[in-house]
């Protein structure tokens, strides 16, 4: 994605955007969930952008992660990620889910009331739960702090404070404020993460 974006002058620090699509527990098979995710991505972005759709089975609610290269490989156009795009993506997702006979949240706001409660009720994952999962994934796939940061950036996170600071913190699209990694638990402090990365380097 870096290489593709660097071919065009429209490149900035947003290497990719990360979308999320979740289903009610027991409502879809992994194969159905993946087909719905791929179809949603195709209808949203067509053939202009490089997209990765992964279907995760690690929670009761099967869910898709959709990662979009921020720059079109056909036109060099930068995807702007406006709020109107968020509504369009939800409309397309709902349309595809209905075609497959799956339930959708009718007229649901993006946020409202106790955010964590609403997100759980909708079959999605609260910010900290999602971040904890993505941090674990990044830790499992990297051995250096720079690579760890790059991995999270590839999932759509931006570092407000990186590992030069005592409390690294990140923010994702649509989050109103950043989240400290240390707020995820004692195993996610700056020191704990650096120790784990160091241990994995030594194991190599």
pLDDT, tens digit, 9 for 90 and up, residues 73-113: 888 888 887 777 878 898 999 999 999 999 887 765 554 44
Q: Which has the closest alpha carbon to 55: 85, 33, 27?
A: 33
Question: Looking at the whole model, is its pTM more than 0.85?
Answer: no
Residue owning tokens 């910010």: 127
Query: Which has the higher per-residue pLDDT, 127 or 33?
Result: 33
Q: Write out pLDDT tens, residues 102-152.
A: 988 776 555 444 455 445 545 566 778 888 888 988 888 888 888 898 888
Q: Return the pLDDT at 141.
A: 81
Confidence band of 4 (pLDDT split at 50, 70, 90):
low
Residue 116 to residue 189: CA distance in whole angstroms: 22
């Amino acid at each position: 994605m870096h290489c593709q974006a660097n071919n065009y002058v429209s490149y900035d620090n947003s290497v990719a955007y990360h979308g999320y699509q979740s289903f009610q527990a027991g409502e879809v098979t992994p194969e159905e969930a993946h087909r719905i995710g791929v179809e949603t991505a195709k209808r949203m972005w067509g053939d202009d952008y490089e997209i990765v759709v992964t279907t995760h089975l690690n929670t009761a609610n099967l869910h898709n992660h959709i990662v979009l290269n921020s720059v079109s490989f056909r036109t060099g156009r930068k995807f702007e990620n406006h709020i109107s795009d968020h509504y369009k993506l939800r409309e397309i997702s709902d349309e595809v889910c209905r075609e497959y006979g799956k339930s959708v949240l009718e007229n649901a706001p993006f946020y409202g009331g106790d955010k964590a409660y609403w997100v759980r009720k909708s079959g999605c994952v609260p910010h900290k739960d999602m971040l904890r999962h993505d941090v674990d994934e990044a830790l499992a796939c990297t051995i250096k702090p720079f690579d760890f940061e790059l991995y999270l950036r590839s999932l759509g996170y931006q570092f407000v404070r990186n590992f030069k600071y005592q409390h690294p913190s990140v923010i994702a699209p649509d989050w109103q404020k950043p989240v400290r990694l240390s707020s995820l638990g004692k195993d996610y402090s700056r020191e704990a993460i650096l120790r784990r990365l160091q241990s994995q380097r030594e194991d190599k």
